[in-house]
């Protein structure tokens, strides 16, 4: 389909150039040539911008199964320092808007490692947006709410999209925690 569209566009462009050549050779009116050249140039430039937006700088599809790991570096509650928490998330994007849900699956602190199974997993609701950048990695801002064992908390991730990996920082209202986060896309087997 993409090749067909590119072929049609090339035929249209060649037709426009042929017509311009015909007009230039058969008419002697400078004003007419100037106006026609401006119109055709504007149409050609618009076509180039649409092609760039649709084929080269398109919004990436990040829908799928992801696992993300948060490592707490700063916190108001000392036992959370160096805490590593993993979540499994299913996300989808509609344009630049991101939606999804997930579960806490793993936690490692200075005293123990916990693998959460079944009803021990806490559920998170995810939403966010993708900011398209043309000269650097795309930026993703994700917010999720979690109903913890003691209270509800909110977390913001600000990450950059690098192929199948997002990496960046997070801030969590639970104990005013912050640190690093890495998202990895899961492969289906």
As a three-state string, the secondary structure of 97-164 is EEEEEEEEEEEECCCCEEECCHHHCCEEEEEEEEECCCCCCEEEEEEEEEECCCCEEEEEEEEEEECC
Instruction: Judge whether 126 and 91 are in contact, CB under 8 Å.
Output: yes
Q: What pLDDT shows up at residue 54?
A: 67
- pLDDT at residue 159 greater than cutoff 90: yes
Q: What pLDDT shows up at residue 160?
A: 94
* Burial of 97: CB neighbours in 10 Å, binned 0-12, 13-18, 19+: exposed
With a CB cutoff of 8 Å and minimum separation 6, the contacts of 61 are 93
- pLDDT at residue 1 greater than cutoff 60: no
Instruction: Judge whether 173 and 155 are in contact, CB under 8 Å.
Output: yes
Q: 189: which 2 tokens?
A: 């087997």
H or E segment at 89? strand 84-94
Tens of pLDDT, residues 101-142: 999 999 999 889 999 999 999 999 999 999 988 788 899 999
Q: 161: which 2 tokens?
A: 């999209």
User: Cα–Cα–Cα angle for 146, 89, 81, nearest 5°?
Assistant: 55
Q: Give the percent of the chain with pLDDT over 70.
A: 84
* Phi-psi label, residue 69: left if phi above 0, alpha if psi -120 to 50, beta otherwise: beta
- pLDDT confidence bin for 7, thresholds 50/70/90: confident
Tens of pLDDT, residues 27-81: 666 666 677 777 777 777 777 777 766 667 778 889 999 999 999 999 999 889 9
């Amino acid at each position: 389909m993409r090749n067909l569209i590119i072929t049609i566009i090339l035929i249209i462009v060649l037709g426009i150039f042929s017509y311009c050549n015909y007009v230039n050779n058969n008419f002697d009116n400078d004003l007419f040539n100037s106006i026609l050249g401006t119109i055709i140039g504007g149409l050609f430039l618009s076509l180039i911008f649409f092609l760039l937006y649709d084929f080269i700088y398109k919004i990436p599809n990040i829908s799928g199964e992801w696992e993300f790991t948060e490592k707490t570096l700063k916190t108001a509650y000392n036992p959370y320092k160096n805490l590593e928490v993993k979540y499994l998330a299913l996300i989808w994007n509609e344009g630049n808007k991101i939606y999804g849900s997930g579960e806490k699956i793993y936690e490692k602190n200075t005293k123990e490692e916990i693998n959460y199974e079944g009803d021990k997993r806490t559920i998170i609701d995810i939403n966010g947006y993708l900011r398209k950048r043309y000269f650097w990695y795309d930026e993703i801002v994700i917010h999720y709410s979690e109903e913890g064992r003691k209270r509800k908390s909110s977390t913001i991730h600000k990450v950059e999209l690098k192929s199948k990996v997002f990496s960046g920082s997070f801030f969590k209202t639970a104990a005013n925690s912050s640190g690093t986060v890495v998202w990895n896309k899961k492969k289906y087997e």
